[in-house]
Amino acid sequence: MVMSGPNGNLITSLSATLYCQKYWCNLPSHRYELDEAFSAFLYKHCPVVAERFSPTPWCWGGRLQTLVCAILKSRPPVSYRNELIRTVDGGQISLDWVDNQASVTYPDSSTRPTVLILPGITGNSQQSYVLHAVSQAARHGYRCVVFNNRGLGGEELLTPVTYCAANTSDLERVVQHVKGLYPSAPVLGAGVSLGGMVLLNYLARKRAESGMVAGITISVPWDAHKSCYSMEEPLNWLLFNKHITRCLHRAVTRHRKILEKVVDVDYVLKARSIREFDERFTSLVFGYKSCTDYYHDASPDKKLPSTAVPILCLNAADDPFSPQNAFPVNIVQELPNVALVLTAHGGHIAFLQGLFPRGESYMERLFGQFVHAVFEHPKEIERACGIEDEDGKRKE
């Protein structure tokens, strides 16, 4: 399978392609101009972006990668400390911490870097991709905290409000809480799928006041409308959309007593797709006139120019959740602080490699290398992204 790159060039099925400001590189042939600072930083400190991405030989297609990953992926043992924090509207958010008190690299908890992880649409701290991310970060000596969306972290809903991709108020509350506990510790946001949408929307709205030093997203749906169309293709609906809708039903059923104050729960539970669920539930709970308005507000692609911290994004061209015609390549090429790594294969939150792909693969290694690069070379990445000048002064 091939897809067109800039100037009509082709990205082969085994290559990963890195897009940065006015820059592109078709790997592994290495056709690039290494004069843009962020791309140079990534090649220096995240060598995985220069690797030849070879998916599992018997698992090439995006649908198969996604399904196999859900079945086979290992689950590293992680012991969390749970904390419930209150929100302004009287609700509560469940946070799962890995404090990493035994960190040799950062023995002082007040300055220990923190990775804030945002799971996908019905995910929580127990998802395999979250466990692997926590394991990677802890190995480097960092602290982790998983932000479970309301109602998904085992806690009770105290108000008839859940979560959506466009609403960033809960994330803002979490960041304020984390920074309040550890004001001298840098925070990096890591968003997966819908969590990546929330993270990007937050970074765009808060700009330089986000409280984060950088962000990374994996398999983010860039355009909610296009993502929805892709997920409603017959096979994608059967394999993925139907399952996710059922998971959303279970969440609503669990909190039925309080949610029936604002929606017709029986009507919501008859939704047969994510779009129908968002029409009957999400758009109503968050005050949108229509699901179309909600999807427009939730899509992070056009908001990237408003971000002000370094951001690395990983997507696969065969992701059934995030179609390649939605990738904001042209926008990214005009931004000094955003890099987009594309692979022709990899599916949704999968990127499986090796004959028996249970352990860490491309996705986990990219995450680990970028997080380490951000925390260990803060001044260098700020200069690379035009955030700080050569004299070490932060640009306004």
Does the active-site annotation cover 227?
A: no
Q: How far apart are CA 87 and CA 93, in angstroms?
A: 7
Nearest by Cα to 373 from 186, 242, 226, 191: 186
| C-alpha span between 254 and 96 (Å, rounded) | 20
CA-CA-CA-CA torsion sign (250, 243, 55, 3): negative
Out of 132, 345, 348, 372, which one is annotated catalytic? 348
Catalytic pick from 135, 319, 322, 372?
319
Residue 93's nearest CA partner among 168, 166, 157, 145 is: 157
Distance CA 217, CA 16 (A): 16
Euclidean distance between CA atoms 137 and 128, whole angstroms? 14
Catalytic annotation, pick one of 94, 103, 193, 283 = 193
Q: Which helix (H) or strand (E) holds 143?
A: strand 143-148
Whole-number Å distance between alpha carbons of 249 and 270? 9
Identify whether 74 is a catalytic site residue: no
**Is residue 193 flagged as an active site residue?**
yes
Closest to 373 in 3D by CA, of 164, 137, 96, 157: 137
Catalytic sites, residue numbers:
193, 319, 348
